[in-house]
């Protein structure tokens, strides 16, 4: 299953110049599963050398040629679905069923942007002078650095690099040090698919801040795409200013999940389960604040708590498991701190509330009622299997509560009133709104946030534009203006 533990640079598997490695652990068991090359910031710059050298040749290939390589990569990813799923579960802990879903989801971006490669259109503009012709074309931005998180170690790579590759850019991927093995497996399949040496590179290393700073400081890197915390995103934003790079940032969220009193309660409970507890609550679009209208509050809490209590916790590699471990001790500590703060301020634990006996990084799926906006879990992303439920009375009240955050990635609302649905959709200050659904991610639609949740969009027809520059050409035909009339 684990074929490579060295970085992939210029089509070659490269160890750190110092020979250093770092351990990758299975969060479910605490066991070391591999020792991976621990590159320095200086080592990482060799990936920029390779990408820069490969860039022009890859950009000169026709869109159809680039699309063909992407399609082969897509097919190889699907052919290795089970091996990739097991690797994802091994290094980050999510249940195998979710890992298999991630492989399919991640592969869908490769397929989508293989098709979009041939749809990068320019335009002609009616000229302002009779002797001139005006053209607009789109060209690849250049070398792209993609910095990806641990919670979706495959899909967050393909969602970023597929449009870049389709547009004609070369890429340097810096995966999370928690989950580098999936990235290396993807690079192996990319080489097999036929990407030229240097077009797709993977840099592994523990010192993510130093590596990121070195990559971003290089003027040959023209685009940075990052998924992660808002704090780190702001730092990358500032660093990118020195060379005025194009930037895509998919940052933190604080998603409201709103259930109106006219909603289908069973459907809302099911949506909340899917939205909140996927990946043990470790997703940027999962419900961080569940708002339920007063008329159905008690009923919803009762039904939802019963469903949560039945969730099966354990090693994601085992059959029937629905909730795996948290990624590390910091993640566990944050969950416990948020819960302790809420209880100290009067919240009530309906279900769970303790660590789970499955292992050191497991936490029992938890429902907390009586949560108020003053509590930490209302202000910060918990990123764990804890569902806080708030009670509200009016539509205007819940809109104000939902928008009272610097974040604006995803929001959800359940109602059977069409007018209310449109009012909520338009009133929620979020880049993505799920109306009567708890699952909103798809390769065919733009994914991204507003406010401090980020910049740019990934997926859909908008996704490839993030990796293109618009060029305007003004052609003078050298004619006498009178001859043109």
Using CA atoms of 334, 336, 341, 345 in order, give the dihedral in degrees to the nearest 10. 150
Superfamily of domain 255-435: Aldehyde Dehydrogenase; Chain A, domain 2 (3.40.309.10)
Q: What is the pLDDT along the chain (485 residues), one digit of tens a residue?
A: 799 999 999 999 999 999 999 999 999 999 999 999 999 999 999 999 999 999 999 999 999 999 999 999 999 999 999 999 999 999 999 999 999 999 999 999 999 999 999 999 999 999 999 999 999 999 999 999 999 999 999 999 999 999 999 999 999 999 999 999 999 999 999 999 999 999 999 999 999 999 999 999 999 999 999 999 999 999 999 999 999 999 999 999 999 999 999 999 999 999 999 999 999 999 999 999 999 999 999 999 999 999 999 999 999 999 999 999 999 999 999 999 999 999 999 999 999 999 999 999 999 999 999 999 999 999 999 999 999 999 999 999 999 999 999 999 999 999 999 999 999 999 999 999 999 999 999 999 999 999 999 999 999 999 999 999 999 999 999 888 777 76
Output the six-digit token pair for 109.
């971006």
Kindly report each contact of residues 226-235 with a partner whose C-beta sits within 8 Å and lies 24 or more positions away, as own/partner.
226/146, 226/147, 226/250, 227/147, 227/148, 227/149, 227/156, 227/160, 227/251, 227/284, 228/147, 228/149, 230/407, 230/452, 230/453, 233/454, 235/209
SS3 408: strand
CATH of domain 7-251+453-472: 3.40.605.10
Pairing of strands 255-259, 468-476: unpaired
Give the Cα separation of 372 and 112 in Å (integer).
Answer: 42
Residue 32, H or E segment: strand 32-37
Output the six-digit token pair for 83.
């091996």
Give the Cα separation of 138 and 119 in Å (integer).
Answer: 11
Kindly report each contact of residues 446-450 with a partner whose C-beta sits within 8 Å and lies 24 or more positions away, as own/partner.
447/159, 447/250, 448/248, 448/250, 448/409, 449/250, 449/251, 449/253, 449/407, 449/408, 449/409, 449/410, 450/408
SS3 134: strand
Residue 134 near residue 474 (C-beta atoms within 8 A): yes
- Known catalytic membership, residue 482: no
In 3D space, the residue among 164, 169, 196, 161 whose CA is nearest the CA of residue 77 turns out to be: 161
Give the Cα separation of 226 and 237 in Å (integer).
Answer: 10
* pLDDT value of residue 194: 98
* pLDDT value of residue 482: 74
CA within 13 Å, CB half, 421: 11
Give the Cα separation of 34 and 111 in Å (integer).
Answer: 31
- Known catalytic membership, residue 250: yes
Pairing of strands 123-125, 132-140: antiparallel
Other CB atoms within 10 A of residue 44 CB = 26
102, 177, 250, 381: the catalytic one is 250
Tracing tokens 């040629």 back to the chain, one arrives at: 65
Exposed, middle or buried, 114 (CB in 10 Å: 0-12/13-18/19+)? Answer: buried
* pLDDT value of residue 105: 98
Extents of the domains making up the chain: 7-251+453-472, 255-435
Output the six-digit token pair for 55.
């860039």
* pLDDT value of residue 156: 98
* pLDDT value of residue 485: 67
Other CB atoms within 10 A of residue 478 CB = 6
* pLDDT value of residue 154: 98
Output the six-digit token pair for 480.
């006498």
Give the Cα separation of 296 and 262 in Å (integer).
Answer: 9
Residue 467 near residue 140 (C-beta atoms within 8 A): yes
Tracing tokens 């009567």 back to the chain, one arrives at: 436
- Strand-pair partners of 252: none
Output the six-digit token pair for 74.
């897509």
In 3D space, the residue among 248, 203, 242, 250 whose CA is nearest the CA of residue 223 turns out to be: 248
């Amino acid at each position: 299953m684990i074929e490579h533990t060295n970085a992939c640079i210029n089509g070659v598997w490269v160890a750190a110049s110092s020979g250093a490695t770092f351990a990758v652990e299975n969060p479910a068991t605490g066991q070391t599963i591999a020792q991976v090359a621990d590159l320095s910031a200086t080592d990482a710059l060799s990936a920029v050398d390779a990408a820069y050298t490969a860039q022009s040749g890859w950009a000169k290939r026709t869109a159809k040629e680039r699309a063909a390589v992407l399609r082969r990569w897509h097919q190889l990813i699907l052919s290795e679905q089970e091996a990739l799923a097991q690797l994802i579960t091994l290094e980050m802990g999510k249940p195998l069923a979710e890992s298999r879903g991630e492989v399919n989801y991640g592969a869908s971006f490769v397929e989508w942007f293989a098709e979009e490669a041939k749809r990068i259109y320019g335009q002609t503009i009616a000229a302002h002078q009779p002797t001139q012709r005006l053209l607009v074309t789109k060209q690849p931005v250049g070398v792209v650095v993609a910095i990806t998180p641990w919670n979706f170690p495959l899909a967050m790579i393909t969602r970023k690099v597929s449009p870049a590759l389709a547009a004609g850019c070369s890429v340097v991927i810096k995966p999370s040090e928690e989950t580098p093995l999936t990235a290396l497996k993807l690079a192996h399949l990319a080489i097999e698919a036929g990407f030229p040496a240097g077009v797709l590179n993977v840099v592994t290393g523990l010192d993510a801040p130093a590596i990121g700073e070195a990559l971003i400081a290089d003027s040959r890197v023209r685009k940075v795409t990052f998924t992660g915390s808002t704090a780190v995103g702001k730092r990358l934003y500032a660093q990118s200013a020195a060379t005025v790079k194009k930037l895509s940032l998919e940052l933190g969220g604080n998603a409201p999940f709103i259930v109106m009193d006219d909603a289908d309660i069973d459907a809302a409970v099911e949506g909340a389960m899917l939205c909140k507890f996927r990946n043990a609550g470790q997703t940027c679009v999962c419900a961080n604040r569940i708002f339920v209208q007063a008329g159905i509050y008690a009923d919803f809490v009762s039904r939802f708590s019963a469903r949560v209590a039945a969730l099966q916790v354990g090693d994601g590699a085992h059959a029937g498991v629905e909730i795996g471990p948290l990624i590390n001790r910091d993640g566990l500590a944050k969950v416990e701190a948020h819960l302790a703060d809420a209880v100290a301020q009067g919240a009530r634990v309906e279900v769970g509330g303790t660590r789970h006996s499955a292992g050191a990084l497991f936490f029992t799926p938890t429902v907390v009622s009586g949560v108020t906006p003053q509590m930490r879990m209302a202000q910060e992303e918990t990123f764990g299997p804890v569902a806080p439920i708030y009670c509200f009375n009016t539509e205007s009240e819940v809109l104000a509560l939902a928008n009272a955050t610097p974040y604006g990635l995803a929001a959800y609302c359940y109602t059977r009133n069409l007018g209310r649905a449109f009012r909520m959709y338009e009133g929620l200050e979020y880049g993505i709104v799920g109306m009567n659904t708890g699952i909103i991610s798809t390769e065919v639609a733009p994914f991204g946030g507003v406010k401090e949740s980020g910049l740019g969009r990934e997926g859909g027809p908008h996704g490839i534009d993030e990796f293109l520059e618009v060029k305007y050409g003004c052609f003078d035909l050298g004619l006498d203006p009178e001859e043109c009339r």
